[in-house]
Structure 1
Amino acid sequence: MADLRVVEISDQYTPIAGRVLAELGAEVIVVEPPTGSPHRRRPPFVDDEPGIGRSLRWWGGNSGKRSVTIDLDSTPGGDTLRRLIASADIVFAGGDLLAGGTLTYPDIAARHPQLIWVSITPFGIGSARADDPVTDLTVLAGGGPMWNCGYDDHSIPPMRGSGDQSANIGGMYGAIGALIALSHRDHTGVGQFVDVNVTAACNVTCEQTTYHWLVNQAVCVRQTGRHAFPTPSSPVQVRCADGSYATTGVLPRKPAEYARLVDWLNELGLTEELPETYFLELAASRDRPVDLAAIGEDDETTAILSAAREAVNLIASRLPAKEFFIQSQRRGFAAGAVLLPHEAFDDEHTVARGMHVPVEHPELARTVVYPGAPYVFSASPVPPITRAPLLGEHNSILDDIVR
């Protein structure tokens, strides 16, 4: 996307959309007021010292971009923005610019029919709720993700994931919408207006919860570390020998898998502690996989799968979580260690994948390790990550446009 220019008019839900396209090689220019985007004032800050260029949220959402400052409340500022947008292929914006009438997509598109304009707002353009105040909490609650996130114990309130998930989801759908519109333009030569409703985007992430209700009026219930579903499923988290947790994933099904599970129990000297090993050996001697759908209907199948769960839990309880994960993977069993964020980031697999990227911050006289791009393309190398821009660092772009 190196030949594309994206203008992002910094708003509540725009940062991730702009960053994704910057990671794909586009030139992304983020437009801020002269006092700076509100995102710059959001904690946490580097070394816990507030500052216009020290917000880690700003860094995370705006690395790889350029910053220009424009006073959108002034007539000259409006004219400058028009000229900047006229040079762009894609615009990301919230709803205020359209609603205020200062700049409208139909007006711009009449002169620049190839322009793609992506609006990312809490409820979509024209919604009766367009003026309602929102936070990450209210959008995730209204959109549905909080309904299916939490624990088996429903006396505990539902949970929301941290890290501005609604903004991440809305921004990602903004990027997806822009890419689809770009493909359309490649075929037709015509741009279009993309209206991203963040609440609806969050609802799409709810997996089965919404459509179970729409199709059969069934209510999915929260389940610890598992998919919300109308009926409870078997727990998959187990506390390991080091006090950390692992998730045991899907149980074995094939005879060879049961043979490997029995071998693992033998290696650890645990068969005497698990009389149910008999059922695992029975499954290993079969000539067909265990049918998960027969749980509760066929006694032998139920006993085999119950024994498998007991065996996996017993093994996990005797090993550190990371060791359990590694040994499970080597034996072909789906499992994972539950890691803290910094543990996951510093894991040797993450490092080997290239997710540790040193980025220079001359203004702070230090180098900071950033997470790398979440994708690898065989034919389109991801451009090097650069730090988030300082306020108005690239205002020379505007000077060139005005001239």
Structure 2
Amino acid sequence: MGALDGIKVIDLSHVLAAPFATMIMADLGAEVVKVEPPFGDDSRQFGPFVEDEAGEQQSGYFISINRNKKSIVLNLKEEKGKEILRDLISDADVVVENYRPTTMKKLGFSYEEMKKIKKDIIYCSICGFGHDALEEYASKPAYDMVAQAYSGLMSITGPEGGEPCRVGSSIGDIMAGHQAVIGILSALRHRDRTGKGQHVDMSMVDGLVSVLENAIARYTMEGEIPGPLGGAHPTIVPFQSFKTKDNYIVTPIGNDSLWKKFCDALEMPELADDERFKTNPLRAENKDELIPILAKRIKEKNTAEWEEVFEEYGLPYSPVNTVDKVVEDDNLKYRDMIVDLEQPGIGKVKVAGSPFHLSETPGEIKSHAPAKGEHTDSVLKGSLGLTDAQIKEMKSQGIIG
């Protein structure tokens, strides 16, 4: 049994933030019914693409974030489609959506309406600026890049002195998805104790502001407006990437004891006794003098040679891996973080595994990402008791698919 066995989720989401959240819940054992419009989730049109046995183009993007779910197609522009959704919600524990607040309200599925269908429902919304926001913000459209820019994250990302830079993955969506799961699980725990449901109002911008780490403290305590520092840490030195002969390596030297070992590993013990560099505050104060010395030395060997040296001295380090090396990494494979997903019509597709390594109820990949409407018949028969004739009739009317 998964940790969330017995929890039923109606997934009204699209693209990334909320689908990522419902994938986590599905990995942990929840039954997730993904409700798609007749044209399907937008992300089915996002690459990379792979051709299946029928000659159709399947989206690797969609496959990577929709495993372990069931898909049904409902036309919510039709009243009968809305009626079916209400019936599904009446038997669910959680509803997750990531449309603009005005969209769900127009459809008749705001939290206030959901409560009328099932009073203890957990209703999770993810949007750019939050449902409970200033009026001009609540309805603003937002993608990941908007959240990264507005939150300030882009202003501290990228090479020192360079232009604002987006984080390489859609961290605004991903962080909101992770935090949404925490909110949903907290709400379920509260419902267990009190019998009350609630609205989980998640904002992509909020999520990124919450992980700005010490950037806010540096501004409010010191008056400094943080900027990008490339691979460096603003207050711990050395704590950054260095160019080797053939690649890059990171060396996060987080305390003075490690600093002494690091100097020995570089065969530069005199640096440890240098009055400018003895403590971390001094190294941070004099980093413009220190970093060029270290950079020159580290560039004298290739990455593998430095790995061997740093390993011998017990120092924290890592090569800056490219994705091909990540996919082939032995430890990540051992921890099931790179796994083969058997996708019908395609075969095995490599995807990231579940990071939830619980000793009794770990996250698990049990099934493929569904084809659009793959489970419409089985869900409507099993959950609502509809007959084949009723399903056939509604398909002919464009209500379901």
Q: Same fold (TM over 0.5)?
A: yes
User: Does the 8 Å CA contact 2:310/2:317 hold for their aligned counterparts?
Assistant: yes
Residue 69 in 1 paired to residue 73 in 2? yes
Deviates more, 1:175-184 or 1:105-114: 105-114
| Equivalent in 308, 316, 320 of residue 338 of structure 1 | 320
In the alignment, what sits opposite 2:140? 132
Q: 1:176 aligns with which of 182, 188, 210?
A: 182
Most deviating of 321-330 and 84-93:
321-330
| SS of equivalent residue, structure 1 residue 390 | coil
Asked whether 1:277 is paired with 2:269, we answer yes
* Structure 1 partner of 2:226: 220
Contact kept, 8 Å, 1:2 with 1:27, in 2: the verdict is: yes
1:159 shift after superposition: 0.6
d(CA) in 2 for partners of 1:79 and 1:329? 62
Q: Deviations over 1:326-368 (max 9, x none)?
A: 542442212211111221221222223222322212312x212
Q: For the structure 1 residues 74 and 214, does the alpha-carbon distance in structure 2 shift closer, same or farther, using more than 3 Å as the test?
A: farther
Over 3 Å counting, the alpha-carbon distance change for 1:310 and 1:360 in structure 2 is same
Deviation, structure 1 residue 146:
0.4
Amino acid at match of 1:177: G
Change (3 A) 1:316 1:392: same
The one of 129, 141, 149 aligned to 1:141: 149
Within the candidate set 43, 49, 56, 1:45 is matched to 49
Q: 1:200 to 1:252 in 2, by over 3 A?
A: closer
What secondary structure sits across from 1:146 in the alignment?
A: helix
For the 8 Å contact 2:124–2:199, the answer to whether it is kept is: yes
- In the alignment, structure 1 residue 384 sits paired with structure 2 residue 365: yes
**What does the per-residue CA deviation read over 1:31-58, in whole Å, with 9 as the maximum and x for residues that have no partner?**
1012211111112212699x97611211
After superposition, the C-alpha distances for 1:286-326 in whole angstroms (9 at most, x for unaligned) are: xxx953234488xxxx79x978x678656633433244235
Alignment of 1:293 with 2:281, yes or no, is yes
Query: In the aligned structure 2, how far is the partner of 1:261 from the partner of 1:311?
Result: 11
How far apart in 1 are the matches of 2:127 and 2:188?
Answer: 20
Taking structure 1 as the reference length, the TM-score comes to 0.82
Q: Does the C-alpha gap of structure 1 residues 138 and 25 become closer, same or farther in structure 2, counting only changes over 3 Å?
A: same
State the TM-score, normalizing by the size of structure 2: 0.83
1:99 is the counterpart of 2:105? yes
The answer on 1:55 being equivalent to 2:59 is: yes
Sequence identity, in percent?
25
Distance 1:72 1:330, change over 3 A: farther
Instruction: State the AA in 1 paired with 2:33.
Output: I
Letter in 1 for 2:122: I
Find out whether 1:2 has 2:5 as its counterpart. yes
* Mapped contact 1:372–1:385 kept (Cα < 8 A): no
User: Contact 1:22/1:64 (CA < 8 Å) preserved in 2?
Assistant: yes
Q: Distance in 1 between matches of 2:205 and 2:284?
A: 39
- TM-fit CA distance, 1:157: 1.0
- Quote the offset at 1:112 in angstroms: 2.1
Contact 1:70 1:77 in 2 (8 A): yes
Change (3 A) 1:357 1:172: same
* Aligned 1:4-403 pairs, distance under 5 A: 4-12=7-15, 13-46=17-50, 54-94=58-98, 95-127=101-133, 128-152=136-160, 154=161, 156-227=162-233, 236-242=240-246, 244-250=247-253, 253-254=256-257, 258=260, 261-262=263-264, 264=265, 271=267, 276-280=268-272, 291-295=279-283, 313=295, 316-364=298-346, 366-395=347-376, 396-403=378-385
Aligned 8 A contact 2:187 2:197 in 1: yes
TM-aligned CA deviation for residue 9 of structure 1 = 0.1
Aligned-CA RMSD value: 3.2
The 1:27/1:327 distance shift into structure 2, 3 A limit, reads: farther
Residues 84 and 401, structure 1, Cα contact 8 Å, conserved in 2: yes
Aligned pairs, number: 374
Give me the whole-angstrom Cα distance separating, in 2, the residues matched to 1:326 and 1:350.
20
* Cα 1:227/1:90, change in 2 over 3 Å: farther
Question: Aligned pair in 2 of structure 1 residues 352, 76: CA closer, same or farther (>3 Å)?
Answer: same
- Are 2:237 and 2:280, in contact at CA under 8 Å, matched by a contact in 1? no
Where in structure 1 are there 5+ consecutive unaligned residues?
266-270, 284-288
The higher relative CO (CA closer than 8 Å, separation ≥ 6) is in 2
- The answer as to whether partners of 2:11 and 2:32 remain within 8 angstroms in 1 is yes
CA distance in 2, matches of 1:118, 1:258: 50
Determine if contact 2:239/2:252 at 8 Å carries over to the other structure.
Answer: no
Partner Cα distance (1:72, 1:363) in 2: 29
Is the CA contact 1:36–1:52 (under 8 Å) kept in the aligned structure 2? no
Residue in structure 1 matched with residue 395 of structure 2 by the alignment:
none
Q: Does the Cα contact within 8 Å between 2:127 and 2:142 map onto a contact in 1?
A: no
Q: Distance in 2 between matches of 1:26 and 1:175?
A: 12
The answer to whether the 8 A contact 1:169-1:198 is kept is yes
Task: Quickly say closer, same or farther: Cα 1:210–1:260, change in 2 above 3 A.
Answer: closer
Q: Deviations over 1:212-259 (max 9, x none)?
A: 334554311210113457xx96573221122x11112116622x8736
Equivalent pair of 1:64/1:387 in contact (CA under 8 Å): yes
